Amino acid sequence: MGGELRAQDAAVGVGGQAGTGAMSAVGHELAEKVGGLLAGGEVRMFLGYGAGRTALRVRPRHVLRPEGAAGLVWNEFCAPSLAKYLLDEQEEEGRVGVLVKTCDLRAMKRLVADRRVDRGRVLLVGVGCAGVVDAGKVEALLVEPVVEAGVQDGKLVLQTRSGVRELPREEYLLERCLHCEDPNPREVDLLVGPEVAPWAARPRDYAEVAEVTAMGAAGRAAYWDRQFARCLRCFACRNVCPACSCRECSLEVWEPMWLPREVSVSEQYMFHFTRAFHVAGRCVDCGECERVCPVSIPLMKLNRALQKEIQELFGVERPWEPEEKEPLAMYTPDDPDFH
């Protein structure tokens, strides 16, 4: 994986300075094309990335005018999925353009399959991605804020006030990037930048599920007690999830009150298990719930445990890929469990 990733560093221009608005070569191409789409009236708005509050972060950028495209950035820290922001744009007329990586495309397909986004009103602009850095891991390591960040010779090069720190880039990628089977999004309307060479993706072997299963009943209970005791009930995991797109969430209604406002561990079990079962068979394995959790609860262990069950019980080879018919949303008259 390392050689291929390093070979792409220059191609994707990941040395761009996140947080300063400096753009990579792909970023310049993206800005040019987005400006043209807006000027030509092909989209009324474009969703991409803009500079964030630190050199390691980006934030969603809504571009409404052609000249605003100059503020778009593309770099190694473009982690957030933008697909769910489309929910806020479905009430207005006109197409919306959005930048997607391969993992974001699965989220987009999820929203389309759930009839929450009209594919005909979205213009997908794909970009090859050589892997995204987990900013949280880097921030946890460093005491000082990073004022400038980039990649050189396969290393993360981080400039702080007291000097330069270099880190092995591969060790700081998001976990989903290690499982990425095709870094180039397909089935999009437009591509920017060169194709990225694929690398040897790690198989989804559910090792993390086996690790928890091996704890036994008492051990698992103690493990999840510790995890859920830290939950703030901030709903960030739900809000970012492309499979959690109900217009009204049953966990927030007052009548009937399925989830009391108390944040005891037992009620946190209710919240997290309800959410995990709600997305069972529909989770796209993007890991966004875990990435945005402010207290780092390993929520993907729950989702992958259900993925494993669905794979084994229903014979779904790739349960993370959205399909028109979902295994838990259909039945046949000869279903042996039908009553």
The strand pair at 146-152 and 122-127 is best described as: unpaired
Distance from the Cα of residue 240 to its chain's centroid: 8
Residue 334 has pLDDT above 50, yes or no: yes
Residue 23 has pLDDT above 50, yes or no: no
Mean local confidence (pLDDT), 279-305? 95
Mean local confidence (pLDDT), 219-227? 97
Per-residue confidence at 172, pLDDT binned at 50, 70, 90? very high
Which residues share a beta bridge with 98?
A: 47, 124
Secondary structure (3-state) at 147: strand
pLDDT at 32: 96
Q: How far apart are the first and last CA of the chain?
A: 50
Whether 264 and 312 have beta carbons less than 8 Å apart is answered as: no
Average pLDDT over all residues of the chain: 88
Q: Which tens digits make up the pLDDT trace of 101-146? A: 999 999 999 999 999 999 999 999 999 999 999 999 999 998 888 9
Per-residue confidence at 7, pLDDT binned at 50, 70, 90? very low
